[in-house]
Structure formats: structure tokens, C-alpha cells
Amino acid sequence: MIDEARQFISLIERMEEKLTRFTINSDVRQVQSFNTEVYQAAAAIGSYKRKEVDLTLRCEILTNNFPLLVDHIPYI
């Protein structure tokens, strides 16, 4: 799980870098492609979050948060 989380950090950093290169004159297709990439990343993070909540509620991983709190933290 920790390695997966670190991969998301790297992914978000790469997307932030890519975002800084867009301007008002950027090609619409490139922006649409980037939006698709961001959506897919958000969906992957949502899946990770669901897995984390599930494992926490089944006491298969430890967390500093109470299980009911973790269950109520929103995810995609």
C-alpha cells in the first residue's frame, strides 16, 4: 500500500508539471487528453481509497484513524 501511495505522489507531481506547461493558446486536443489523464488518475486514487477503507474496516491494516471515520472520508 505504501508503494502504491508513493506512485500516486509521483503521478500527481508529473501531472502538476504537465499542467504548468498549458497556456491559453494550448491545443484543445492536448487539454482534452490531459483531462482524460487526470480523470483516470482520480479514478485510480478512488479505487486505492476504497481498498484502503475496506482493509481498515476488516482490520487487515492499521491506521491512526477510527474505522468509522475512515469509512466516512469521501472518495471517488
pLDDT per residue rounded down to tens, the chain (76 residues): 889 889 999 999 999 999 999 999 999 999 999 999 999 999 998 888 888 888 888 888 887 776 666 666 665 5
Q: How far is CA 66 from CA 47, 49, 51, in A?
A: 20, 15, 16
pLDDT at res. 62: 81
The number of angstroms, rounded, from the C-alpha of 75 to the middle of its chain's C-alpha atoms is: 9
Regarding pTM above 0.85, the answer is no
